[in-house]
Amino acid sequence: MIEVVQAFDRALIAKLESDDAAALERKIQAAARSSPIGVLG
């Protein structure tokens, strides 16, 4: 979960769903396999 807040008073603007660590790792691995130069060049 990502919370978006105002900079000056930290008042909540929105809550956004986000990937968990395992899902993010799967996406990074898939991107690395599909890229001709790999992740981060």
In sequence order, what are the residues at sequence separation of 6 or more whose Cβ sits closer than 8 angstroms to the Cβ of residue 15? Answer: 1, 2, 3, 4
Question: By CB neighbour count within 10 A (0-12 exposed, 13-18 middle, 19+ buried), where does 19 fall?
Answer: exposed
For residue 10, give every residue at least 6 positions away whose Cβ sits within 8 Å of its Cβ, in sequence order, or none. none
Record the pTM: 0.47
Per-residue pLDDT of the chain (41 residues; tens, 9 = 90+): 889 999 999 999 999 888 888 998 998 899 888 877 655 55
